[in-house]
Amino acid sequence: MKFPIYLDNHSTTPVDPEVMDAMLPYFTEKFGNAASKNHVFGWEAESAVEHARKQIADIIGAESSEIYFTSGATESINLAHFGIAQSYSNKGKRIITSATEHSAVLDSLRYLEKNGFEIIYLPVDQSGRIDFNQLSDSINQNTILVSIMTANNEIGTINNVTEISKICADKNVFFHTDAAQALGKIEFDVKKIKPALASFSAHKLYGPKGIGAIYIRKDEPPIRLTPLLLGGGHEKNIRSGTLNVPGIVGFGKAVEICSKIFKDESHRISRLRDKLYNSLISFLDNVHLNGKIENRLPGNLNISFEGVTAESLIMEMRELAVSTGAACTTASLKPSHVLKAIGVPDNLAKSSIRFGIGRFNSEEEIDYAIKKIIESVTKLRSLSPSWTLREEHNFN
């Protein structure tokens, strides 16, 4: 076993060695610009890009022409929000989302809110899911977009995006989903879900950082997105800028691997996740699962350990790389907005740890993590005067 043990696979994943092998030639001998049309270096790069585009399209059941490359899911989300807002503001200015979205969704919509758009933040239940009737009632004639994530990055909740998409279609409203945590981990089929737009990122599925994609459904008339970046008209004028060919190749290879192994991999990772959870609740009292174990990403476990703070627990178990929540917001001392939205009280929200089990975690690592977590929680509780008094009171 190598230390520290990485259990934060929702924030990012290590690049799969097969992905790295596929990328390396495009940094050296195959370094051409995919927009160079006059020589073999450009043709070779363009061919690699189109192959990767097809690999990504195939895993989600799309056509290659519906996939556009970006720098990551954050850019794709911003492109979906701002692109629709600018192109369809003459129809209306209402956009609907949920209270538990990733900050890339919430921050871009708050920007639009400051600039005259009406943003509806739907509440969620204890599992992190919205009420479909409330969604339907919130859509009016001024609504142009609904943006709801496929799977939550903190508590792992998998939303019924097929039903959400159907409601939007019945109301003639565009549906966008942030699928960054879902791609390669659970089934995501655009023919079944039928979203108008979907956002993805390679580094969540053992690909490189700095590359993502947006799916834009081929409609008649076409969905109009005002681009964020101008200058060269790359990606059919949707996203200008020289294409990151090595990153795109890596993205394509990463989804190809996932398409072959994700069912077996999901089963194995779910088993490790359940072993971790069941062991912790067997040996420790006052352990609270955030969200429901059902309809959850295979490797996700978000737990509050009553009587200890997350920061002190992480410091105590330096051999384990875990997080207190989303990597983009861990600098904040405020309780997670996701945990608050599902009704977790502040004291438990501040004692929550997110475990993200991934492809390269072994059973031996999970066994070690179980032992270390139990030891650390027990030690910290024994050092807490308030916890000790509470236990003595309960005992008496």
Last residue of a domain, one of 227, 257, 287: 257
Q: For position 332, what pLDDT does the model report?
A: 53
Q: Is 328 a catalytic residue?
A: yes
Question: CA-to-CA distance for 104 and 93, rounded, in angstroms?
Answer: 19
Residues 208 and 281 in one domain: no
Question: For the chain, how big is the Rg over CA atoms in Å?
Answer: 22
What's the CA angle centered on 360, arms 200 and 209, to 5 degrees? 35
**Residue carrying the six token digits 């699962």:** 289
Q: Are 157 and 27 in contact (CB under 8 A)?
A: no
Among candidates 352, 364, 254, which has minimal Cα distance to 303?
352
Q: Are 67 and 235 in contact (CB under 8 A)?
A: no
Residues 228 and 324 in one domain: no
Q: How many CB atoms lie within 10 A of CB 317?
A: 21
Question: CA-to-CA distance for 328 and 335, rounded, in angstroms?
Answer: 14
Residue 376's domain comprises 5-11+262-380
DSSP annotation string for 77-121 = HHHHHHHHHHHHTTT--EEEEETT--HHHHHHHHHHHHTT-EEEE
Say which of 240, 328, 340, 387 is annotated catalytic: 328
Q: For position 396, what pLDDT does the model report?
A: 47
Residues 69 and 203 in one domain: yes
Is residue 386 included in any domain, yes or no?
no
Residues 158 and 178 in one domain: yes
Question: CA-to-CA distance for 201 and 208, rounded, in angstroms?
Answer: 9
Residues 89 and 227 in one domain: yes
Q: For position 330, what pLDDT does the model report?
A: 46
Using CB atoms within 10 Å of the CB of residue 177, give its burial: 0 to 12 exposed, 13 to 18 middle, 19+ buried. Answer: buried
**Which residues of the chain register pLDDT less than 50?**
328-330, 396
Residues 73 and 199 in one domain: yes
Is residue 133 included in any domain, yes or no?
yes
Tokens read off for 47: 């061919």
> E strand or H helix at 265, and its extent?
helix 245-283
Q: For position 391, what pLDDT does the model report?
A: 64
Residues 176 and 32 in one domain: yes
Per-residue b or e along 130-155, where b marks 16 or more CB atoms closer than 10 Å to that residue's CB: beeeebeebbeeebbbbbbbbbbbbb
Question: CA-to-CA distance for 374 and 280, rounded, in angstroms?
Answer: 7
**Residue carrying the six token digits 């990151």:** 244
Residues 198 and 332 in one domain: no
The torsion of the CA quartet 270, 276, 279, 281, rounded to 10 degrees, works out to -90
Is residue 393 included in any domain, yes or no?
no
* Total domains, the chain: 2
Residues 246 and 354 in one domain: no
Residues 251 and 274 in one domain: no
Residues 288 and 186 in one domain: no
Q: For position 389, what pLDDT does the model report?
A: 62
Residues 145 and 82 in one domain: yes
Using CB atoms within 10 Å of the CB of residue 373, give its burial: 0 to 12 exposed, 13 to 18 middle, 19+ buried. Answer: buried
Tokens read off for 36: 């160079």
Question: CA-to-CA distance for 291 and 97, rounded, in angstroms?
Answer: 19
